């Protein structure tokens, strides 16, 4: 548990640094330096590439993590797993790129806008997908080696820092948009190469092709698991990305402008998920080992603690986001103001998602992994159907409501299943205390009189919220898990 505490904390801190850089990029730079439709195109291409890469890698990310304990053998270069993984990545990347190239005309018609931006720059999807597939696969290998901080550092910090540098360079040099987009795409390739270099530097980039080992029985088991977890892998990335794709396809010749507005609002709301993402990066390999040993006690402990810690951390972020909402949108151009409701709904959706901890990982690493596939597929279907009807009737808020509905419905089912099948339950009375604390602060803090200047009021509200939340959590006895995590961080590995 000491390893989990240390790496989860480092990952969380890196995620927050990334959030800070993301705030600079998404709120202060992109909307002011790029026209809304050009900014929207960057969001749209990343969304398409992310979904395409998740489909292309066929669930291999979770498969590598779950089955790595069977390959682990440093003397035999982990039985050639990396070599097989890279060959697989090359094949599926080329197939995905070919499909996207052949579909360029169709996608141009779907995402047509008044400036024909997608028609001119849509083929930049090809290197984006290549970079995404290899980053996902190398990240899974790194996480299996319990090297979770390095891919988080590259994804959360390096990627955004390079984007900050690029948008500042665009502001200074006023490069043609085509040049900007090529450099923007290159950043993702750099990050994939950086992760490969990190593995090489640490002595873990030994291909081991001559040591490769994949017996028929294990191959069948892995193939079955991969098929069932594909929908789960895709579903996790579809939320938020499919919203932007459907907005781009359904809201007319200003669709890329609407994508930009939604992307900013979604960024505000999705910040709530940062603690969960950081913890999941570390805990998934631990869950795989625990299920392999049939250590139900360890699985239950990880499940309960993840729920509590995520709800506490995400609850604080939700209060900070909600109480600073008006000030945040005052920092943006006036055209973005209508997206404030989107940010609130997305924030609420991810608060609900955080409250159930590692339920998806607990299921996907267990013998009931098929349930994760079925529930994830159901979540995608609910999200697509809800998006279709709600975007048409409500515009941008409709996409946010679709996310909230699909996440809440499927998370409720997963929580029930884990209790019914394994007698695992994530909540206790402290969960109710956290919920009550969140509600009280959300109702009280917005009424506090401040200066009216968003640059002053944002940090003031953050200080006030933190000064109220942390002592109240301490008095209510909600910080014991955090204190124990800190003790384990400074103690020896366990």
Q: pLDDT, tens digit, for every residue of 202-235?
A: 887 777 666 666 667 777 777 777 777 776 666 6
Confidence grade of residue 493 (pLDDT, cut at 50, 70, 90): very low
pLDDT tier for residue 3 given thresholds of 50, 70 and 90: low
| pTM for this predicted structure | 0.72
Q: How many domains does the chain have?
A: 1
Q: CA triplet 54, 56, 61: central angle to 5 degrees?
A: 55
Q: What is the pLDDT of residues 111-141, one digit of tens each?
A: 776 667 888 888 999 999 999 999 999 998 8
Q: Which of 176-190, 360-374, 378-392, 473-487 has the highest mean pLDDT?
A: 176-190
* Residue 424, phi-psi category: left (phi > 0), alpha (psi -120 to 50), beta (remainder): beta
pLDDT tens by residue, 432-463: 989 999 999 999 888 888 887 888 888 898 89
DSSP assignment of 156-219:
IIIHHHHHHHHHHHHHHH---HHHHHHHHHHHHHHHHHHHHHHHHHTT-----GGG----HHHH
Q: Are 355 and 307 in contact (CB under 8 A)?
A: yes
Tens digit of each residue's pLDDT (9 = 90 or more) over 96-109: 999 999 998 888 88
Least confident of 37-51, 122-136, 146-160, 259-273: 259-273
**Mean pLDDT (the chain, rounded):** 82
Average pLDDT, stretch 366-382? Answer: 82
Res. 155: pLDDT tops 80: yes
Pick the range with the lowest mean pLDDT from 325-329, 434-438, 483-487: 483-487
Its domain, for residue 276, covers 2-490
113 phi and psi, to 5 degrees? -135, 175
């Amino acid at each position: 548990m000491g390893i989990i505490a240390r790496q989860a904390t480092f990952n969380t801190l890196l995620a927050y640094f990334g959030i800070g850089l993301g705030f600079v990029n998404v709120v202060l730079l992109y909307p002011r330096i790029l026209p809304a439709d050009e900014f929207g195109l960057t969001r749209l291409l990343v969304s398409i590439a992310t979904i395409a890469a998740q489909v292309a890698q066929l669930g291999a990310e979770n498969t590598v993590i779950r089955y790595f304990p069977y390959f682990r053998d440093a003397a035999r270069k982990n039985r050639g797993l990396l070599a097989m993984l890279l060959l697989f990545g090359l094949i599926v990347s080329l197939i995905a790129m070919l499909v996207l190239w052949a579909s360029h005309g169709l996608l141009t018609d779907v995402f047509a806008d008044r400036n024909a931006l997608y028609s001119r720059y849509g083929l930049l999807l090809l290197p984006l997908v290549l970079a995404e597939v290899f980053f996902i696969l190398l990240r899974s290998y790194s996480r299996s080696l319990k090297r979770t901080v390095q891919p988080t550092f590259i994804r959360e910090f390096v990627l955004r820092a390079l984007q900050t540098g690029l948008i500042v360079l665009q502001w200074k040099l006023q490069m043609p948009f085509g040049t900007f987009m090529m450099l923007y795409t290159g950043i993702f390739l750099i990050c994939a190469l950086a992760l490969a270099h990190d593995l090489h530097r640490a002595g873990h980039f030994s291909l081991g092709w001559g040591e490769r080992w994949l017996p028929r029985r294990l191959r069948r088991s892995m193939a079955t698991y991969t098929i069932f977890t594909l929908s789960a892998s895709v579903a996790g990335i579809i939320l938020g990305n499919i919203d932007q794709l459907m907005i781009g396809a359904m809201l007319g010749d200003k669709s890329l402008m609407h994508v930009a507005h939604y992307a900013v609002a979604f960024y505000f709301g999705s910040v709530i998920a940062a603690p969960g993402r950081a913890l999941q990066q570390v805990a998934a390999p631990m869950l795989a080992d625990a299920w392999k040993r049939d250590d139900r006690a360890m699985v239950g402990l990880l499940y309960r603690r993840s729920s509590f810690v995520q709800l506490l951390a995400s609850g604080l972020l939700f209060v900070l986001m909600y109480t600073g909402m008006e000030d945040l949108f005052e920092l943006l151009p006036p055209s973005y103001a209508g997206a404030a409701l989107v940010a609130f709904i997305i924030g609420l959706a991810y608060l609900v998602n955080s409250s159930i901890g590692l339920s998806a990982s607990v299921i996907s690493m267990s013998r009931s992994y098929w349930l994760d596939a079925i529930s994830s597929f159901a979540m995608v279907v609910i999200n697509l159907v809800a998006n279709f009807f709600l975007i048409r009737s409500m515009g941008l808020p409709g996409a946010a409501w679709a996310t909230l509905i699909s996440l809440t419905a499927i998370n409720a089912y997963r929580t029930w299943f884990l209790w019914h099948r394994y007698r695992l339950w994530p909540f206790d009375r402290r969960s109710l205390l956290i919920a009550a604390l969140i509600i009280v602060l959300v109702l009280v803090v917005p009424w506090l009189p401040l200066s009216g200047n968003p640059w002053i009021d944002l940090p003031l509200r953050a200080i006030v919220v933190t000064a109220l939340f942390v002592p109240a959590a301490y008095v209510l006895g909600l910080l014991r898990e955090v204190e124990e995590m800190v003790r384990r961080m400074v103690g020896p590995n366990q």
